[in-house]
Structure 1
Amino acid sequence: MARVPFIAIEGPIGVGKTSLAKKLANQLDFHLLKEIVEENPFLGKFYDDIAAWSFQTEMFFLCNRFKQLEDINKDYLNQKKPVIADYHILKNMIFAKRTLEADKYDKYEKIYHILTEDMPEPNIMIYLTASLDTILKRIEMRNREVEKNIKASYLSQLISDYEIYMNQFEAMHPHIPVIRINGDETDFVQYQEDLKQITDLVEKHLDAFASK
């Protein structure tokens, strides 16, 4: 685990990870690490035909996230500069397991473990959840061209996949606290009080980390 604060935010598409990461980075004065999404040249094709374009899409994300984390580790964490990211590289396995055929998944999993073996772990994980209705509304509001063909059935399954994976993550990484936030009940974009409650909770965990 990195010995400098490193927070990662995870959750399904459209749940508000980047919005929360930006606000917490500003509140805590942390460097903000944003994942590359719309720059993926395969993403639009992926949402049109998942089976045909899943391997190219997942490999692009894996390689870019690996490079981002490698740079963050060198330029920030190793320099004792705290970081908050709007993703964790573990999400690659959530998506790959859902979208890749068995033979391609096996190859992908091997590459994933080779690349991530020495990657820094977060000190704190924030897990955002929300219902399908809430996520669909937020995706519609942000109006990204590449997301216009996302199927509700895919998002529904993704919500379930995330819940399973995060439960496994907590069991396998008891040293990393997971802060769960219900996006149906909390609107940290519109309501400052909701943001303050989240910030206070994160700061308590940071204080506990610092005292170790």
Structure 2
Amino acid sequence: MGDADIETSNLVFVAGNIGAGKSTTSSRLSSALGGRLVTEQTDTNPYLARFYDDMRRWTLHVDVHFLAERTLTVGREYRPGGVPTVFDRCYLEGAVFAEVAHGSGLATDDERGTFTTLLDSFATVLPAPAALVYLRAEPDILLDRVKSRGRGYESGITLDYLQALQEAYDRWIDGYTGSPVIVVDSGAVDLREDEALGDVVRRVRARLTG
């Protein structure tokens, strides 16, 4: 079968650090593309509350559960050439949080290895997206956003933690080869504005149409 006969993936992943603007961008992007939006429901993770009480004990459990739910959804929503489906998180981002957890001593070498093996296994069989939109902002901007939205479970997030995540995110995106990447400086542009969003929409649409 020639390249012209291969239908383009309908999947679009939006990725980025905490507070980078994933939820807002995903929602607006899916509407502009006339597509579907898939949002992550964190309250379905049975380990999350226990994780905040004892991070060392429950880190691997939380990460594996999120990975399982995310990968199942990717397989379910994949429709080559179908209606664009925008995810407000990329399942591969789990590698970022696993790296930071390991670096901070919350995960052992064995736990990090187990999670990486699972993630790599899923990545070899799951379909690639048409594009990955990477939202990047400096950690001080992210912290201001986190504080302003006032989510109780985010109250313990520190600048150091966001900095560690951002450094891991940048390493991750530098090594990402699964699809075209659209990098957006979400600290400099307001994706709630039509002009800024329009540029992202045009770039994603070009990938969806091959």
TM-score range, shorter chain: 0.7 to 0.9
Partner of 1:180: 183
TM-aligned CA deviation for residue 95 of structure 1: 1.1
TM-aligned CA deviation for residue 47 of structure 1: 4.4
TM-score by length of 2: 0.84
Is the alpha carbon distance of 1:121 and 1:108 closer, same or farther for their aligned partners in structure 2, counting shifts above 3 Å? same
In 1, Cα distance between equivalents of 2:146 and 2:10: 30
Partner of 2:114: 107
- Kindly provide the amino acid, as one letter, of the partner of residue 186 in structure 1: V
In 1, Cα distance between equivalents of 2:137 and 2:49: 24
In 2, Cα distance between equivalents of 1:208 and 1:113: 24
Unaligned runs of 5+ in 1: none
Partner of 1:82: 84
In 2, Cα distance between equivalents of 1:68 and 1:204: 24
Matched, 1:63 2:68: yes
Number of residue pairs matched by the alignment? 200
TM-aligned CA deviation for residue 112 of structure 1: 2.0
- Contact kept in structure 1, 2:13 and 2:87, CA below 8 Å: yes
- Contact kept in structure 2, 1:34 and 1:86, CA below 8 Å: yes
Aligned residue for 1:90, secondary structure, equals helix
In 2, Cα distance between equivalents of 1:151 and 1:45: 20
Partner of 1:15: 20
- Contact kept in structure 2, 1:6 and 1:83, CA below 8 Å: yes
Is the alpha carbon distance of 1:14 and 1:128 closer, same or farther for their aligned partners in structure 2, counting shifts above 3 Å? same
- Contact kept in structure 2, 1:36 and 1:61, CA below 8 Å: no
In 2, Cα distance between equivalents of 1:152 and 1:179: 26
Runs of 4+ in 1 over 4 A off after TM superposition: none
- Kindly provide the amino acid, as one letter, of the partner of residue 159 in structure 2: A
Matched, 1:26 2:28: no
In 2, Cα distance between equivalents of 1:200 and 1:131: 21
Partner of 1:202: 201
- Contact kept in structure 1, 2:36 and 2:85, CA below 8 Å: yes
In 1, Cα distance between equivalents of 2:207 and 2:46: 41
- Percent of paired sites with the same residue: 24
- Kindly provide the amino acid, as one letter, of the partner of residue 114 in structure 2: K
Is the alpha carbon distance of 1:124 and 1:85 closer, same or farther for their aligned partners in structure 2, counting shifts above 3 Å? same
Is the alpha carbon distance of 1:152 and 1:41 closer, same or farther for their aligned partners in structure 2, counting shifts above 3 Å? farther
In 2, Cα distance between equivalents of 1:123 and 1:79: 10
- Kindly provide the amino acid, as one letter, of the partner of residue 112 in structure 1: L
TM-aligned CA deviation for residue 208 of structure 1: 5.4
Matched, 1:148 2:155: yes
Partner of 2:128: 121
- Kindly provide the amino acid, as one letter, of the partner of residue 151 in structure 2: R
In 1, Cα distance between equivalents of 2:53 and 2:182: 34
Instruction: Let me know the Cα RMSD of the aligned residues.
Output: 2.2
Aligned residue for 1:163, secondary structure, equals helix
- Kindly provide the amino acid, as one letter, of the partner of residue 198 in structure 2: T
TM-aligned CA deviation for residue 113 of structure 1: 2.4
In 2, Cα distance between equivalents of 1:2 and 1:138: 39
- Kindly provide the amino acid, as one letter, of the partner of residue 95 in structure 2: M
Unaligned runs of 5+ in 2: 1-5, 102-106
